[in-house]
Amino acid sequence: MNIESRLAQIGSQEDPNTGAVNFPVYHSTAFRHPRLGQSTGFDYSRTKSPTRSVLEKAAADLENADGGFACSSGMAALTTIFALFGQGDHLIVSLDLYGGTYRLLEQILSRYGITASYVDTNDIEAMEELCQGGTKAVLIETPTNPLMMITDIEKVASWAKAKGYLTIVDNTLLTPFLQRPLDLGADIVIHSATKYLGGHNDVLAGLIMTKGEELTKQVAFLHNSLGAVLGPQDSYLLMRGMKTLALRMERHEYNSIKVAEWLKAHPAVEEVYHPGLPHHPGYEIQKRQASGNTGIFSFRMKDARTVEPILRHLKLIAFAESLGGVESLLTYPAVQTHADIPIEIRKKVGVDDRLLRFSVGIEHIEDLIADLGAAIDAALQEIKEA
């Protein structure tokens, strides 16, 4: 079936005993054994639970994976994957990186002897120079957050495979509806499922998808051993959100491109970073490896003084720190999502005091442009009167 049908039908045929089209929530943490040496397949909910199992099966199917693992957050998913590595191991990581991933690598994993180097992952020569004896993997965000840099997944995965490295791709911003990195040669895909997969700002979750029998077994062991698993109620909420993913992503993409085009023409805006616009340097790669664009992008104002009043004058759009929900959110990365990244690194990448990140929701496009336009006009007027 096409992915739209598979999404809509998540869990609808998994309960043959009752025929329920909405798979039930099993809150039980323990399960009876029929007799000594026999199991129903469920023993203890950290290891495996019915509701989570249906979610994991559906997620693996969407990414064409051999295994799927639902975690208690996107950071829990990352932590589980990073547990594949140990003392003396080294990772090559996307330069424009989510602040929480940077914090985990530099402030926690570094204490266990795991190091990371940050680079534009489209620059194979630069990655070659970073290779060490202990290099084990490449971690790619594509698009990156917040500057929407695009990496050629197939090219990097081929390079990594020739060197014996794992390729890990954070697919949060595009979801399997628009991009499937495992089909392009990646070994592991991770999601902050809190974002577009959940889609309603009401569930905290992470997903891991793996390719290959041995790697899948390793991650299954870590998932159970570390125990950062997703509970049954959140598994249900995530499945419910995923059923409408196709419809939502189509609207997110449409709205985000319209707003990005409007901002591109605004005299107070210096630059717009949206891979769906032809001027974006990753436009052709994005067209080749993905079937569409996400609903998030960033833009840079010409004057840093406009940022605070813009955020203050918004009425429909919320000034809030997340993305991927049906509600539109505007974020100030320098003091929110990327505050843990040292200022010299932020400035080198381009996350400065004039950059705003827009997670465009599914509201009517005219209302979104009117709200943002009024906020920018009010900010400019305040500066003029100051």
Task: Show which residues are catalytic.
Answer: 46, 98, 170, 195
Residue 72: DSSP 8-state: S
Q: In terms of domains, do 221 and 366 share one?
A: no
Tell whether 313 and 168 lie within a shared domain. Answer: no
pLDDT in tens, the chain (386 residues): 999 999 999 999 999 999 999 999 999 999 999 999 999 999 999 999 999 999 999 999 999 999 999 999 999 999 999 999 999 999 999 988 888 999 999 999 999 999 999 999 999 999 999 999 999 999 999 999 999 999 999 999 999 999 999 999 999 999 999 999 999 999 999 999 999 999 999 999 999 999 999 999 999 999 999 999 999 999 999 999 999 999 999 999 999 999 999 999 999 999 999 999 999 999 999 999 999 999 999 999 999 999 999 999 999 999 998 999 999 999 999 887 777 777 777 777 788 999 999 999 999 999 999 999 999 999 999 999 98
CA dihedral 231, 235, 237, 238 (to 10 degrees): 130
Q: Are residues 59 and 99 in the same domain?
A: yes
Stated pTM of the model: 0.96
252 and 208 part of one domain:
no
258 and 174 in a single domain? The answer is: no
Contact call for residues 341 and 351 (beta carbons, < 8 A): yes
User: Domain check: are 173 and 207 in the same one?
Assistant: yes
Instruction: Report the CATH number that the domain containing residue 86 is assigned in CATH.
Output: 3.40.640.10
Same domain, 288 and 223: no
Regarding whether 315 and 195 lie in a shared domain, the answer is: no
Q: What is the domain count for the chain?
A: 2
Q: How far is the C-alpha of 299 from the C-alpha of 269, rounded, in Å?
A: 7
Q: With beta carbons less than 8 A apart as the criterion, state whether 191 and 77 touch.
A: yes
Q: Name the residue range of residue 20's domain.
A: 3-242
CATH of the domain at 260: 3.90.1150.10
15 and 149 assigned to the same domain:
yes
- Cα distances from 246 to residues 112, 188, 193, 198, 253, in angstroms, run 40, 22, 15, 12, 11
Do both 10 and 35 map to the same domain?
yes
Q: Are strands 355-359 and 329-331 parallel, antiparallel or unpaired?
A: antiparallel
Is there a single domain that holds both residue 232 and residue 278? no
